[in-house]
């Protein structure tokens, strides 16, 4: 017999989710014609991929089990796992290459689809540039699960996102939302973490669990009935788009309103969660100066307004959400600190009952006081208070009472809204009240526009502090009796308040 001088062909064959009847005709023909059939296999147990097509294999074919040396279930050392698994794929690629080099066609069996979290992609990386390669798609487990659960995943303009359960709980919770559809794969020992993330994202009641979809051992269960210790790797959770649709009479989409903190100024201080909420929004509502910090996106509506109409702005945003829009209310700093978080919730509390059914979320941001404190060290390193000097929403008498309480209790103090064009004298009176309790040498920091190009930081003390140096955009930090100034060797001065306290 004359041996072929032509190299063989490499096939990545998708077998679908497990039911042999869901294999494509092309996949079956390729498997039957291949001289070598390779398949993944755990050290203990059998190969799921081989079991799906076992009736199609012949004794003339060479079988090449690819026995994993380790799995993600058996190590917590990410670097160790990556090194071991890379060496494994290197070795298997060379074994397959040996067959291809002498003219044998090799079919690598893959559950689901070869390029959707499939192991074949790692062999493809190592061999496709050396041998003629063809990938035969298979039905993904996500679509099989949707069919077995009898639930549509997406409707109209909603999005479907695939998430690996190996992500951190915080990242999973940040990416999930109640508006779009999600499939979470690779559960295994990650089940409890994923369940917590679903709960935090407010979608636990919508989540559907299935393991080994379309296989003989298929199981569908309520998440509350699932034992985390028994969850196999081949299981997943679907969070379908819950919007219902009737032909000719579509039901209005559920609205969502997210109050987002942009941080004090620098783009790098905007959190990934806030960036995602801004990107997903259909409408942005906020003070015009803050909206100008958000990149313009095609198709996204923007509603800017003056800084003194918080209640009107909140009601407008809630009305948009009631109409089925995904609304972001934009705040500077943190939305829960003298900002739109409270304004939105107060409007819900006083507004129509339908607003209570909206999906309302508050996304935190770096506050102005945190940014200012970090610039100068740690002046808020011990107990501190935060106070606004604006008397637009509370009487000045209340502010005076609180200044006395803060000063007498020896708190460090962060002061918001210290002065405006309409309020010229309050800051000087606040200084006098604090000076009656604190030494003249008490450190004071004036921080204006922190994180922006026109940032200005001034360090002074309570005795020399000039109220005229502040404006509405200035954040003032007044130290406690223990706050200290620290001179560094590079002529830089830092302020900190020790964590211990001695009266």
- Report the b/e string of 120-146 with b at 16+ CB within 10 A: bbbbbebbeeebebebbbbbbbbbbbb
Please give the backbone phi and psi of residue 53, each rounded to the nearest 5 degrees, phi first: -120, 15
**pLDDT of the residue at 246:** 41
- The domains located in the chain, with CATH, are 10-138 (3.40.1010.10), 143-239 (3.30.950.10), 256-366 (3.40.1010.10), 369-496 (3.30.950.10)
Dist CA 260 CA 363 (whole Å): 5
Write out the H or E segment, with its range, that includes residue 329.
strand 326-331
Q: Which residue is it, tokens 């390729």?
A: 30
Q: Residues near 393 by Cβ (< 8 Å), separated by ≥ 6? A: none
pLDDT single digits (tens) 385-408: 999 998 888 899 999 999 999 999
Q: What's the predicted TM-score (pTM) here?
A: 0.55
Taking the alpha carbons of 432, 437, 441, 444 in that order, is the dihedral positive or negative?
A: negative
Report d(CA 238, CA 182) in Å as an integer.
Answer: 6
Q: Which residues of the chain have pLDDT under 50?
A: 1-2, 72-76, 245-251
H-type alpha helices, 292-425? 310-322, 340-350, 368-376, 396-408
Long-range contacts from 121-130, C-beta under 8 angstroms, 24+ separation: 122/89, 123/10, 123/12, 123/89, 123/92, 123/93, 123/96, 124/12, 126/89, 126/90, 126/93, 127/10, 127/93, 127/96, 127/97, 127/100, 128/10, 130/97, 130/100
For 439, other C-beta atoms within 10 Å of its C-beta total 11
Tokens at 110, concatenated: 């893959």
Q: Are 163 and 276 in contact (CB under 8 A)?
A: no
pLDDT of residue 71: 59
pLDDT, tens digit, 9 for 90 and up, residues 296-337: 888 889 999 887 788 999 999 999 998 888 899 999 999 999
The DSSP output letter for 459 is E
3-state DSSP call for residue 285? strand
**pLDDT 10s digits, 244-272:** 544 444 445 567 899 999 988 888 889 98
């Amino acid at each position: 017999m004359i041996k072929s001088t032509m190299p063989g062909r490499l096939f990545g064959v998708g077998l679908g989710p497990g039911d042999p009847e869901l294999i494509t005709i092309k996949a079956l023909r390729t498997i039957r014609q291949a001289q070598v059939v390779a398949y993944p296999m755990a050290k203990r147990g059998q190969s799921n991929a081989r079991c799906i097509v076992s009736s199609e294999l012949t004794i003339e074919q060479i079988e090449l089990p690819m026995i994993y040396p380790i799995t993600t279930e058996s190590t917590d050392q990410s670097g160790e796992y990556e090194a071991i698994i890379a060496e494994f794929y290197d070795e298997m690629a060379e074994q397959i290459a040996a067959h291809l080099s002498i003219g044998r066609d090799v079919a690598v069996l893959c559950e689901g689809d070869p390029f959707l979290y499939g192991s074949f992609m790692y062999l493809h990386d190592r061999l496709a540039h050396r041998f003629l390669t063809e990938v035969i798609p298979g039905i993904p487990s996500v679509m099989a699960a949707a069919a077995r659960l009898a639930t549509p995943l997406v409707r109209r303009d909603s999005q479907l996102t695939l998430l690996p359960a190996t992500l951190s709980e915080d990242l999973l919770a940040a990416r999930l939302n109640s508006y779009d559809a999600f499939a979470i794969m690779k559960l295994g020992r990650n089940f409890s973490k994923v369940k917590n993330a679903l709960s935090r994202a407010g979608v636990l009641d919508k989540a559907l669990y299935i393991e080994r979809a379309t296989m003989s051992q298929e199981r569908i269960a309520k998440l509350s009935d699932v034992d985390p210790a028994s969850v196999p790797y081949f299981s997943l959770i679907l969070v379908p788009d819950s919007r219902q649709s009737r032909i000719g009479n579509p039901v209005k989409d559920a609205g969502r309103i997210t109050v987002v903190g942009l941080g004090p100024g620098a783009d790098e201080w905007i959190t990934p969660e806030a960036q995602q909420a801004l990107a997903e929004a259909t409408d942005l509502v906020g003070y015009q100066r803050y909206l100008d910090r958000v990149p313009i996106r095609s198709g996204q509506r923007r509603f800017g307004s003056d800084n003194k109409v918080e209640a009107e702005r909140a009601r407008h945003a809630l009305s948009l959400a009631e109409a089925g829009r995904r609304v972001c209310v934009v705040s500077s700093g943190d939305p829960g600190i003298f900002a739109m978080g409270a304004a939105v919730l107060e409007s819900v509390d006083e507004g129509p009952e339908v607003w209570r059914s909206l999906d309302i979320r508050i996304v935190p941001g770096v506050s102005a006081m945190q940014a200012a404190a970090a610039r100068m060290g740690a002046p808020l390193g011990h107990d501190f208070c935060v106070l606004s000097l604006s008397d637009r929403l509370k009487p000045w008498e209340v502010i005076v009472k609180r200044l006395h309480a803060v000063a007498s209790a020896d708190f460090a103090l962060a002061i918001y809204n210290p002065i405006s064009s309409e309020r010229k004298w309050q800051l000087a009176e606040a200084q006098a009240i604090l000076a009656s309790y604190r030494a003249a040498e008490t450190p004071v920091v004036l921080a204006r526009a922190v994180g922006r190009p026109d940032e200005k930081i001034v360090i002074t003390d309570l005795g020399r502090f000039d109220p005229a140096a502040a404006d509405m955009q200035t954040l003032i930090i007044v130290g406690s009796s223990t706050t200290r100034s620290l001179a560094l060797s590079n002529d830089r001065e830092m302020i900190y308040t020790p964590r211990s306290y001695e009266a």
